[in-house]
């Protein structure tokens, strides 16, 4: 009974390149130090700023993430993913430490914008690196391994950050900054010998017509769908904890346990799930079902204000996430080339960044105006529209 399960996990993790494993280690180090952003609002209020001022700072963070995603993609295509990843991590670490030394609202706002810009520039470069070090036989699982590293890191960073915050908020900025710098050093030492195997260096003297991501209509349609799903999905980290507390009466500890299920299920199941599903059906099939399940998970909360319903809803949204995001990476990679992969990764990153910015505002306003039951229904409608958009890509032969 045990042997088939062990073999299944071995198969799911086999066949990935050494570079993909190293990239995942770098991502794990980086995300394990994610401490400042989860506690930034609490930190600002503790320093005497109002909630509206804290919201203004977080808005600057969102704006910086969009700028960083755009510039990161452009620079990746020009200079290659190796240099952009190293420089982004290094400068992000330095700016996080400096952020802890800022005192006025203007200083903090400007600094957080720069922090976010440097930090988000890493994402397109990292996505391009994963594409460069994988192939069609393992690319989806390569992105899933990277997501696994992100989720494991997120499980450690905020938890350690909470312990450090109890002693001193200043420690958060140093810990977060130093882990970014450590990740930059590890990436540099490991990949300096591989730096020629990257998107920015696959060039020759022959003229090549490069398709622009901003003029690729099927790709942009896919990004609209992912943005719509993101508007709903990222409510899990903003409005959903409020719902648990105010409507269901859950304690902070119980809310944290339910949210932690998301990362735990992904860590245990995603690689195996992707291994079993890839090549079995067209990727847009999984993308559409993933979108629908994310929307349905919110509507499920309307059944009854019970713990078992909340738990089942979290399992459903996690299943939708595991179906959508790994195969979504395959979509944009297949439409890009070595010469423009950073640009495609940038648009993909910016779609998420914009959704992260707007999700809390949309959800809060809708819940305030019409109540949570209507908000959950709206989420299902939005995700269903996104699912139809994904299916139309295949119907119109726009998935390459």
Mind listing the pLDDT tens digit for each residue in 151-190? 888 778 777 877 787 788 888 899 999 999 999 999 999 9
Query: Tell me: the pLDDT tens digits for 302-347?
Result: 999 899 999 999 999 999 999 999 898 888 888 888 788 889 999 9
pLDDT in tens, 236-268: 877 888 888 888 988 877 887 888 788 889 888
Quote the crossing angle between the two packed helices 36-46 and 139-167, to the nearest 10°.
Answer: 30
3-state secondary structure of 203: coil
pLDDT (average), residues 23-35: 88
CB atoms within 10 A of CB 260: 15
Q: Confidence class of residue 195 from pLDDT cuts 50, 70 and 90? A: low
- End-to-end, the C-alpha distance of the chain in Å comes to 40
d(CA 268, CA 36): 27
For the chain, helix, strand, coil in percent to 5 are: 85, 0, 15
Q: Give Cβ neighbours of residue 151 (< 8 Å, ≥ 6 apart).
A: 262, 263, 266, 267
Q: pLDDT for 384-395, tens place per residue?
A: 999 999 999 876
- Which helix (H) or strand (E) segment holds residue 76: the answer is helix 51-79
Q: Which residue has the higher pLDDT, 7 or 376?
A: 376
How far apart are the C-alpha atoms of 48 and 57, rounded to whole Å? 14
Confidence at 233, pLDDT banded by 50, 70, 90: very high
pLDDT of residue 206: 42
pTM of this structure: 0.83
Q: Say how far residue 236 (Cα) sits from the centre of its chain.
A: 13
Mean pLDDT is lowest, of 72-76, 122-126, 336-340, for 336-340
């Amino acid at each position: 009974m045990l042997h088939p399960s062990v073999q299944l996990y071995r198969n799911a993790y086999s066949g990935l390149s050494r570079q993909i494993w190293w990239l995942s280690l770098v991502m794990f180090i980086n995300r394990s130090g994610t401490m400042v952003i989860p506690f930034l609002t609490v930190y600002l209020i503790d320093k005497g700023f109002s909630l509206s001022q804290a919201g203004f700072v977080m808005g600057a963070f969102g704006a910086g993430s969009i700028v960083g995603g755009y510039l990161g993609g452009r620079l990746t295509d020009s200079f290659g993913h190796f240099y952009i990843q190293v420089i982004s991590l290094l400068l992000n670490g330095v700016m996080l430490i400096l952020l802890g030394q800022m005192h006025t609202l203007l200083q903090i706002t400007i600094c957080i914008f720069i922090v976010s810009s440097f930090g988000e520039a890493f994402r397109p470069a990292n996505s391009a690196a994963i594409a460069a070090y994988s192939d069609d036989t393992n690319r989806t699982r390569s992105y899933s391994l990277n997501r696994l590293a992100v989720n494991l890191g997120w499980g450690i960073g905020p938890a350690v950050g909470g312990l450090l915050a109890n002693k001193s908020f200043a420690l958060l900025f140093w810990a977060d900054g130093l882990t970014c710098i450590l990740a930059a050093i590890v990436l540099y030492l490991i990949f300096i010998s591989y730096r020629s195997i990257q998107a920015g260096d696959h060039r020759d003297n022959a003229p090549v017509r490069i398709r622009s991501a901003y003029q690729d209509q099927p790709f942009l349609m896919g990004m609209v769908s992912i943005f719509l799903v993101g508007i709903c999905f990222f409510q899990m980290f903003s409005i959903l904890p409020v719902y648990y507390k105010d409507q269901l009466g859950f304690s902070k500890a119980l809310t944290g346990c339910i949210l932690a299920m998301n990362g735990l299920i992904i860590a245990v199941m995603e690689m195996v799930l992707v291994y079993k599903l890839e090549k079995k059906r067209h990727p847009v099939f999984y993308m559409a079902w993933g979108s629908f399940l994310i929307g349905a998970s919110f509507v499920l909360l309307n059944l009854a204000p019970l713990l078992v319903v909340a738990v089942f809803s979290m399992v459903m949204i996690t299943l939708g996430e595991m179906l959508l995001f790994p195969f979504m990476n395959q979509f944009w990679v297949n439409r890009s080339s070595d010469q423009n992969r950073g640009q495609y990764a940038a648009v993909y990153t910016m779609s998420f960044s914009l959704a992260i910015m707007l999700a809390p505002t949309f959800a809060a306003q809708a819940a305030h105006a019409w109540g949570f039951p209507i908000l959950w229904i709206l989420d299902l409608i939005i995700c269903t529209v996104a699912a139809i958009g994904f299916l139309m890509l295949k119907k119109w032969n726009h998935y390459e």
